[in-house]
Chain A
Amino acid sequence: MESDTQQIALGLRQGDVVVLEALVEQYQYRLVRYLIYLLGRRDGVDDLVQETWLRVLERGSSYDGRFRFEPWLFRVARNTALDAMRKRPMFSLDSKDDDGVRPSPASNAPSPFTLAARTEGADRLAHSLQALEPVYREVLVLRFQEDLSLQEISAIVGAPVSTVASRIYRGLATLRPQFQGETA
């Protein structure tokens, strides 16, 4: 794996278009998914994806090839999203509610999670996931979909490992009632 990441680091340092295009092909879906979990919406995500890849090109020399590429990419994506939110403050990533749940959006349009649910389990989670605070959704996708370690997630979100762990516990606790009381 290390040689792959070293190749990526070298390609990014040189602004190598072939390396960049291969990265876009490989990580595009995961980047889109991460941003949807982070923002809880589908519109505007494609613009953020483009902006993220531009930043990857501009700041590619800061990627250290000794580490995995995904955490660095998601950190760049997160910073891009935060900058966009500062310019257009629709909502914040900060958690304000004690129960980790925020009010449903006023719009009647189906959430991106409802539209993307392909299994019965996902269908049952869609509504709760939309209502969950972004900081909890974010750690859930990074831990259980991206399979990142607590340390890697901590580096992405800029919070201590203990905070990340608490967010995972609370995120699971909010979604768990959908399945509790069932037999295995």
Chain B
Amino acid sequence: MNANNHESFQRVIDESLAGAIPAEREQSLREHLDTCAPCQEYLNANNKVIAGLGGFSFEVDPSLNAKVFASLRLPAQQLQAAQPGRRRWLLISLAAVVLTMGGSFLDLQFGRLIASVFDIQRTQVQQGLLAFWIVPSLCVLLLFPLLPLLSKAGTRREEGIL
């Protein structure tokens, strides 16, 4: 077996250890290793390095967890306080739906009556309700559920910059 062949298989061993080769090449590597002492020795040396890396045990300060917990508690509370709950979003959205429907109902059922009481055109009542009631309610309904998504997108962008 020539030296080039060993080099080529030793490259495959490196790739195999790095998790960079498909299963079928692993099979041909295994077959080669059964008959090649230099490549077997190369693999053994690599395996000893990897086993050696597992032989370190770093000291961790026993009070470190407590320090971390203490430093997290206040920011976590602030974060929770700043986040409206899902129920609150639901209630706001529900209120906006009711307001939107209420404005439309008022216009349909009592538009003529309101126009006669205030001595104005019915279209003016419709425009007033649309401008000051229905459209603002619709905006609340559409924009409020988007706020958490916009907030999340902002956080992601910040993380990407980091």
Contacts and interface: CB of A to CB of B under 8 A. Distances in A.
Chain A interface category by residue count: 35 or more
Interface of B: 14-15, 17-20, 40-42, 44-46, 48-61, 64-65, 67-69, 71-73, 75-77, 79-80, 83, 151-152, 155-156, 158-159, 162
Which has the most chain A C-beta neighbours within 10 Å: B20, B64, B68? B68
Contacts of B80: 14-15
A184 interface: yes
Interface in A50-94: 50, 53-54, 57-59, 61-62, 79, 83
A46 B14 contact: no
A116 B67 CA distance: 23
A121 B48 contact: yes
Interface in A78-127: 79, 83, 112-113, 115-126
B64 A175 contact: no
Given A17-B73, A150-B20, A141 B53 contact: yes
A121 B51 contact: yes
A184 B38 CA distance: 12
Contacts of A21: 69, 72
Given A50-B68, A61-B152, A165-B20, A122 B76 contact: no
Nearest to B160: A62
Nearest to A175: B49
A74 to B, nearest CB: 13
A149 interface: yes
B65 A118 contact: no
Contact of A57 (B67, B75, B152, B156): B75
B45 A57 contact: no
